[in-house]
Structures are given as C-alpha cells and as structure tokens.
Amino acid sequence: MTNQSDYTSAELLAVMSARQLVDGQTVFAGVGIPLLAATLTQRLQSPGLTILFEGGVLGPFVVPGELPPTTNEQRCTRRANMILAITDVLLLLQRGYVDIGFMGGAEIDRYGNLNSSILGDPENPKIRLPGTGGGNDISSLTQMIVTMKHEKRRFVEKVDFITSPGFLDGGSSRKDSGLVTGGMHRVITDLAIMGFDEKTKSMKVEALHPGVTAEQVRDNTGFDIHIDDDLMVTESPTIKELEVLRHLDPEQLYTA
C-alpha cells in the first residue's frame, strides 16, 4: 500500500512539477521527470493537456510501464494526434502554439540561464555535456519550467555557458536582446519552488517543501537568493498522486 510520507526526491520533483501545469496547455516535454509530470497531471486533473516531443510527436498516449527512453523512440508515437518532421515542431514554437517548455540542465544561474553544454572554460572545457538539442529554441520561445536537484554546484552565480537563455543579465536584457516572448516561469527542486522577481528577473524562493528550511536552500545555492520570511510550504505528494506516478513508472526508471 502506498505511504504518503514515503517518496523519493524524484517523485517529489515529478509531483510538484505536475502541479504547475494547467489543462489546455501544450507542453514541450523531455523524457524523465518532465514526461512523468505532464502525464501525471494529464491523468489526474488536466485531460486537455497536450504533450509535444522534440522528435516530432504531438499528443501521444504514454502507456504505463512503457516509458520511452528518448523522444525519438517508437513508444513516443502511441495513439499520437500527429507525427511531424522535427523542423515543423520548431515551427510550432516559432508560431506561438506551445505554452510551456519543460527541461533540466547541469547548471542554472540567478537569472535562469541554463547550461547543458560544457563545464569549465568554453575554449578548454573540463566536461562536455549533451548540448542544446532544441533547448535554445524552447527556452527562447516558451514559458519555461526547469526541474533539477538543488545543489550549490548546479545553482551558480554565472553559468559557464548559456545553452538555453533565461533572463540573460536580468531586468529587460532578455527583451532587449530580441527575445520578446517566453522566459523562465518556475524552477522546481527537491528543496523548494522558485520564481523570478518581476522587475529584476532574479530568482526568488516562493515555497519550501515539507521539512526544508530556508537555511538549507541558502546553503545549497551558489548565489544570494531572495527568501521571504512568510514562505508557503508545499503540500506533500498525495497518496493518489503517488499511486498514479508508480503506475506510470512501476520499475522506477525515472523516480528511483
């Protein structure tokens, strides 16, 4: 029997991310936590949510226990509304048909810029990461939700490389650069939910997860993050949310 107090940090990320989505939205979701979150909210409260995969699939039905390992895998196409060329998927972004972009990254900074390309000096990187894929297009043209583990090495003052733009240097710099739509909406971690200040565009904590303190968030953030004194505390994942999540991912491929 599912225990409401017994869940992994990945399950927490999936549930908290799912609660950010709204019925009727079109969500550009990657595999892993973004796909689980989108499918979870689809099953529980948002039947009109449409999932879009970078590989060209619009409106797939995700079969419980058969989660696709990549967005180009045939399991992504089950009962889909449409299968497009990848160039046409990016055209949907450019034409404004996608509401939410959903991804993770290796690093994020105070203005929500994401790095999934390299760590270290761009001219002589220590580590090469998977790179952009469609990450630049997605973050340039949609409202972004980012989900990742909350660690100081990931939440940095300035990312080594901007793969996916957030609010660039803060203030109006994103708009001034020509990115007139989209932007960072929420950052969901295993410690808290973050938003961005309306004026400065700097990251701020909006809610803590149960049992987490403001000091823990500060200790695990590599920059001075704004935390209000009267923070909300999120509701723990419900038994129903966990049951549906574990039905979707019975082998815990993404939620171990």
Could you give the C-alpha distances from 125 to 112, 118, 129, 151, 161, in angstroms and in order?
A: 22, 6, 10, 21, 10
List helix spans (H) across the chain: 9-18, 33-44, 86-94, 135-141, 173-176, 214-219, 239-248
> Which pLDDT score is estimated for 4?
60
Q: How far apart are CA 34 and CA 40, in angstroms?
A: 10
The H-assigned helical ranges of 142-219 are: 173-176, 214-219
Rounded CA separation 61/92 (Å): 20
Q: Taking 70 as the threshold, does the pLDDT of residue 66 lie above it?
A: yes
123 is catalytic: no
Cα 212 vs. chain centroid, distance in angstroms? 20
206-243 tens-digit pLDDT: 999 999 999 999 999 999 999 988 899 999 999 999 99
Residue 66 tokens, joined: 């058969």
- What's the start-to-end Cα distance of the chain, in Å? 17
The answer to whether 100 and 77 have CB atoms below 8 angstroms apart is no
Look at 229 and 247; give whichever has higher pLDDT: 247
β-bridge mates for residue 155, sequence order: 108
Q: How confident is the model at residue 2 (pLDDT cuts 50, 70, 90)?
A: low
Architecture of the domain whose range is 9-248 = 3-Layer(aba) Sandwich (3.40)
Identify the active-site residue in 11, 54, 107, 206.
54
Helix 239-248 to helix 9-18 angle (10° resolution) is 100
pLDDT in tens, 121-179: 888 889 998 888 888 999 999 999 999 999 999 999 999 999 999 999 999 999 999 99
Phi (first) and psi of residue 155, to 5 degrees: -95, 95
Distance of CA 144 to the CA centre of its chain: 7
